[in-house]
Chain A
Amino acid sequence: MSDLVLLLPQLCILSAALLVLIYNTIFRKSTKLTILTLIAVVGSFCSIASAIFLFISQSPTVTIFGDQLVVDGSSLFFSVIISSVTLLVSIASYNYIKPLQNQAEYYSLLLLAAAGMGLMASANSLVIAFVAMELASLPSYALVTYLKNNEGSTESGLKYFLIGALSSAIFVYGSSLIYGATGSLGFTAISESILNTPSLSGLLGIGILMVIGGLAFKTTSVPFHFWAPDAYEGAISPVSAFISSASKAAGFILAFRILIEAFPLDVVSSIGLDWALAIQILAVLTMTLGNFAAALQENVKRMLAYSSIGHAGYVLIGLAALSGSQDTLVIGASMMHLMIYGFMNTGAFLFIALAEHWNVGPTFKDYRGLGSKAPLVSIAMTVFLFSLAGLPTGGGFLTKYVLFMAAVGAGFWWLAAIGAINSALSLYFYTRLVKSLWVDPPISDLNISSKGIPVGIYVAILIAAVVTILSLPFFSPFADFAMAAANILIS
C-alpha cells in the first residue's frame, strides 16, 4: 500500500483544514458556517472511517518515510479517538460560534490541531514527535484565546502558552540529551543503542526525565498540570472539550510509544534507569491531586477540568504497572479508558457548552433543576457523569474497573487501592452535579426555551451519550481494538 494511503486518517483532517482555508479565501464575503461545519464533519468522519478500515485491512506495523512515522494498531486506535472528538466538537461548534467572528479560522485551527494530534499518534522519532506536538499545540493556544476580547480567555491562553512553551523547551532539551547519549532519534534506534552501548546513563536519565516532563504537560499530569483548569475554564467549552479529550489522548499515545519503544523497561533498568517508579509517583500524585481538587470546586467547568487531571492519573496506571506480567492488559486498559473517556468527557464539556448557550451560570447552584427543563440532555449528562465516576451507565464503568483489575494483576494492588479511594471520592463531586440537575428545586427565573434548541450541540451530546451507553453492553469491539493495539505496542 502506498505510504500516503497509510496516512489517510491524518490526511483527511489536514485536507479538511486546508479546504476550510481555501473556501474562506475564495468566498471571503459569503463564507457560510454550515459549509465550514460540513467540511470539518466530513473530514473527521473520513478520518475515523479510514482509520478503522486500515486497522481491519492492515498488517500489524508499517514504518514509513524512513522510519520517521509508524502506522500500527495503536496509532490507528488513537486516530479514531482524536477524530471522534474532533467530529463531536465540530458538530457542537456550529451553534456555539455562530454569533462569533473568524469562524473559518476557528475550524481550520481546530482541524490543524487535530492533524497534529493524529501525527503525534504516528510519530516514530523524537524529532517528529516534537514537530507534531508543536503542530498540535500552536493552534490550541490560539483556540483557547479564541475570544480575544475576553480577558479570561486571553489570560488563560497566555498561561497555557507560557507553560506549553516551557514544557516544549524541556522536551526538546531532553531529546537533545538523549541524542547526545545514544546518537539516535528514532525510537527503536534509541533502544538498540542503549542495549549495545550502555554508557552515559546519567545523561540519558536526565533526558528521559525531561521528556517525561514534556509529556506530562500534554497529558495534564503532575507537575505540569496547573495550566489545565485555567485553560479549560477560560476557553470556550467546545475547545475545552477538544483539548481535554483529544489532546490528552495524543499525549498519552506519545508517552506510551516513547517509553515502551525507545526506553523499554527491561533495557533501561539494566543501566539503572527505571522510569516506572517515576510514573508510579506521577500516577498517584496526578489522580489524587486531580480528584481532591475537583471535590473542592464550586465551578462546574473547573470541576470537570480537575476531574480530567484525575483521569490522566488513572490512565497513568497503565504505564506505572508495566512490570512484565500483564503488560498488554494494563496498556490495553489505559487505551480503552482513553477511548471511552474521549466520548464521555467530550459529552460532559459539551453539556457545559449547552448550559452556557442558555446563560446558565458557572457554579453547581446554577444548574439546579435543569433536569426538569431539558430532560433529554440532562439524562445524557447524568450518563456521562456516572460513567466518569465508574458506575454502569456507560463503558467508563468497565474501563475503570479493567484498569484496576490490570493493576492488581500486575502486582500493583496498592495502585488499584489508591485508584479506588480516588474513584469513591470522584463519585461525590460527580453526584453533586447530578444532584443539582435532578434533586434540587429548579431555579424559577431560568428560561431556556426562549433561547431555542441548538441543534448542533444537541446532536453532538446525544451521539456521545449513545456511544457511551452502548459501549457498556457492546464493549467487545472497543476491547478487541484496544487489546490488539496494545499487543502491537508491547511486542
Chain B
Amino acid sequence: MLIELVILSAFFSGLFILFSSDENSHKFSFYLSLIPLLGTLIMWINFDGSGNALLNGGKIAFETYVPWLSLGSYSLSWHVGVDGISMPLILLTSILTPLAILSAWTPINERKSQFYGLVLIIEAALFGVFVAFDFFVWFVFWEAVLIPMYFLIAIWGGTRRKYAAIKFFIYTNVASLVMFIGFMALIFGLGDSISSFNLIDISTALHSGQLDGLGFLDASTLKYVAFIALFIGFGVKVPIVPLHTWLPDAHVEAPTPASVILAGVLLKMGTYALLRFNFTLLADVAQKWASIIAIIAAVSVIYGAFLALAQTDLKRIVAYSSISSMGYVLLGLVAYTVYGLGGATFQMISHGLLSGLLFMSVGLIYNATHTRSIEDLSGLADKMPLTSVIFIAGAFGYMGLPLMSGFAAELFIFIGAFGANFPFAKLITAISMFGIVIVAGYLLLTIQRVFFGTFEVKGNPDLALPQIHDLMPLVVILLMIIALGIAPNIFFEMIQDAVEPMVSLLGGISDV
C-alpha cells in the first residue's frame, strides 16, 4: 500500500504541477516532492525484508500482489515490493528528486510548471522500475521513464538539445526492444513451467532447470542468446562501452537538474536491471562468461576515464566519468562475491550522490560564469570559495578519498573482485584499479586549472554568493556522501543481506 501511495503521489503531483501555472510551481513541486520522500523514509524505517527477492523465498517488504490481466496461459499482475537491493535505490530516487528540483530554481526560467511536472512524473516512473516484480509492469515503467526525459532534454537543454534528445530516445528504445525479444525467448523457452511473468516464478523455474529449447535453439544456446540480448539492452542504459555514445550528448545538452536525475538514477536502472536479470536470473551464464564481462568492465573503466581526460568541457568531464564508475559497478557484479555484488550496489548509490553533486556544482559555476569550458575558467577559488570547496570535495569523493562514500564503494568492489574465482580475476581487477589513477589525474588537472591560479573569466561573471536554495542541495548531498563514507552500514548491511543468496546460488565464496 505504501509503495502505491508513493508512486501515485509523485505521479499526481506531477500532473497537478503540469497543469498549474508557472508562478510558484517551483515551490509547490518542491513541497510535493517531499511527500514521496516521507513515504520512502517510512518504508526505510519499517523495512522488514530479508534475503533476495528473487531467490530462495527471500522476504519482500511492502509486497502487493493484485492480478492485472491474463494473456492466454500467462497471467500478469501488479506485483511490487522492495528488498535490500531496491530499498536504497528508491531512497536515492526520492532524495535526489527534491534536490534536483531545488537546483532547477535558478537555471529554469521558462515553462516552469511543465518542467517540474515532468520531473515528478519521471520520479514516479523510476520508483516503478525499482519496485516492480512482474516483468510487464516493470517494462511499462522502464519505458515510461523515457518520455519525460525526452522532453526535459529537448525543451530545456542546450543548443544541440533536439538532436541529443532524439538520439537518447531512439537509442534506448532500440535497446529495450532487443532486451524484450530476448526475454520473451526465455519466457517461451520455459514453456509450461511458468504461468505468469512474475520474476520470482521465472527465477525459480530457471534455477530448477526448467528451460527447454525454443525453435532451433537448444536450452543452453537459448540461455546464451537471451543473456546477450538482455546485456545489450541494459548495457545501453548503463552505459557500457561501446554502447555509450548517446550519453555524452544527452548529458551535455540536458539541463543540470535533468543531468542529476539522468546520471544519478537513470543510469542505475541499467545496472539494477543487469543485477536482477543477467546476474540473478541467468547467473550461471554470467559466471561462465565472467572473464569476458570483466574485461568489458575494465575497458569501460579505462576507456571512459581516458575520454574524460580528453574533454575540455566541465560537464562533459563529469558525464564521461560516469562511464568509468559504471564500469566498476559491472566489475563488482561479475565478481559474484558478497563484497563484489554489495559493493556494486553500494557504488550505484554512491555514484548517484557524487555525480549529482558534481553536476550541480558545475551548474553553479555555469550560472555564475556562463561558461563550462576549462580554458575560459581560472582561479575561481578566490572569488567563488564556497562553490569551489564543494566541487573539490565532490571531486575527491569521486577519486575515492577515505571517509567518503566513493572510497567505501570502490574498496568493496576491489576486495570483492580480487576474491573472485573467474580466470584472470586478479589481473583484470588490477588493470581496472589503474582507472582510479586516471580519474584522479583528470579531476586534479581540472581542479588545478579551473580553481587555482590567477582569477580570469571571460565575459561578465556574477560572483555573488549563490542563493541558499542553490547551495542547500549540495550541502545535503555532501553530508550524505560523508555519512555513507563513515558508516557504509547504513545501507551495506541491507544490501549484503540481499546479495548473499546470489553468491550462495553459485556456490561462490561467501566470506569474501
Interface positions of A (Cβ within 8 A of B):
326, 328-329, 332-333, 386, 391-393, 397-398, 401-402, 404-405, 408-409, 411, 413, 416-417, 420, 423-424, 427-428, 431, 435, 438-439, 472, 475-476, 479-480, 483
Looking at A332, A417, A420, A428, the one whose CB has the most chain B CB atoms below 10 A away is A420
Interface positions of B (Cβ within 8 A of A):
68-72, 136, 139-141, 143-144, 146-147, 150-151, 154-155, 162, 165-166, 169-170, 173-174, 177-178, 180-181, 184-185, 187-188, 214-215
Does A420 lie within 8 Å of B178, measured CB to CB? yes
Chain B residues, CB < 8 A from A386: 147
Chain B residues, CB < 8 A from A475: 68-69
Does B69 lie within 8 Å of A392, measured CB to CB? no
Chain A residues, CB < 8 A from B169: 427, 431
* Residue in chain A with minimal CB distance to B73: A329
Of A409, A427, A435, A479, which is within 8 A of B69 by CB?
A: A479
Q: How far is the CB of A328 from chain B (nearest CB, A)?
A: 6
15 residue pairs of the A-B complex, CB under 8 angstroms, read: A328-B72, A332-B72, A391-B146, A391-B173, A392-B147, A398-B136, A401-B180, A402-B71, A404-B184, A413-B185, A420-B174, A427-B169, A435-B154, A438-B155, A483-B72
Does A480 lie within 8 Å of B150, measured CB to CB? no
Chain A residues, CB < 8 A from B151: 438-439
A483 to B76, CA, bound (A): 14
Considering the complex of A and B, which 7 residue pairs feature the smallest CB-CB distances, nearest first?
Answer: A420-B177, A476-B69, A408-B184, A329-B72, A409-B188, A411-B215, A424-B174
A475 to B136, CA, bound (A): 12
* Residue in chain A with minimal CB distance to B111: A372
* Residue in chain A with minimal CB distance to B146: A391
Does B184 lie within 8 Å of A431, measured CB to CB? no
Chain A residues, CB < 8 A from B178: 420
Chain A residues, CB < 8 A from B185: 408, 413
Does A405 lie within 8 Å of B184, measured CB to CB? yes
* Residue in chain A with minimal CB distance to B18: A379
* Interface residue SS majority, chain A: helix
Does B173 lie within 8 Å of A424, measured CB to CB? yes
A413 to B154, CA, bound (A): 34
Does A439 lie within 8 Å of B181, measured CB to CB? no
* Residue in chain B with minimal CB distance to A323: B215
Q: How far is the CB of A234 from chain B (nearest CB, A)?
A: 31
Chain B residues, CB < 8 A from A409: 184, 187-188
Q: How far is the CB of B214 from chain A (nearest CB, A)?
A: 7
Does B174 lie within 8 Å of A404, measured CB to CB? no
Of B70, B181, B187, which is within 8 A of A416 by CB?
A: B181
Question: Given A435-B162, A472-B140, are A417 and B181 neighbors across the interface (CB < 8 Å)?
Answer: yes
* Residue in chain B with minimal CB distance to A420: B177
Q: How far is the CB of A125 from chain B (nearest CB, A)?
A: 30
Chain A residues, CB < 8 A from B166: 428, 431, 435
* Residue in chain A with minimal CB distance to B19: A375
* Residue in chain A with minimal CB distance to B171: A424
Of A397, A413, A476, which is within 8 A of B215 by CB?
A: A413
A326 to B185, CA, bound (A): 13
Of B70, B140, B146, B162, which is within 8 A of A439 by CB?
A: B162
Q: How far is the CB of B111 from chain A (nearest CB, A)?
A: 8
Chain B residues, CB < 8 A from A328: 72
Does A329 lie within 8 Å of B181, measured CB to CB? no
Does A326 lie within 8 Å of B72, measured CB to CB? yes
Q: A404-B184, A411-B215 are in contact. List 12 more A-B contacts (CB 8 A).
A: A332-B72, A391-B144, A392-B143, A392-B147, A398-B136, A404-B181, A405-B184, A423-B173, A424-B173, A427-B169, A479-B69, A483-B70
Chain B residues, CB < 8 A from A401: 136, 139, 180
A257 to B353, CA, bound (A): 58
A428 to B72, CA, bound (A): 32
Chain A residues, CB < 8 A from B141: 392
Does B140 lie within 8 Å of A332, measured CB to CB? no
Of A332, A393, A428, which is within 8 A of B71 by CB?
A: A332
Q: How far is the CB of A118 from chain B (nearest CB, A)?
A: 27
Does A439 lie within 8 Å of B147, measured CB to CB? no
Of B69, B70, B71, B147, which is within 8 A of A391 by CB?
A: B147
* Residue in chain B with minimal CB distance to A375: B19
Chain A residues, CB < 8 A from B71: 329, 332-333, 402, 405, 479, 483
A328 to B70, CA, bound (A): 13
Q: How far is the CB of B65 from chain A (nearest CB, A)?
A: 15
Chain A residues, CB < 8 A from B177: 404, 420, 423-424
A131 to B412, CA, bound (A): 75
Does A428 lie within 8 Å of B184, measured CB to CB? no
A19 to B165, CA, bound (A): 53
* Residue in chain A with minimal CB distance to B144: A392
A439 to B150, CA, bound (A): 10
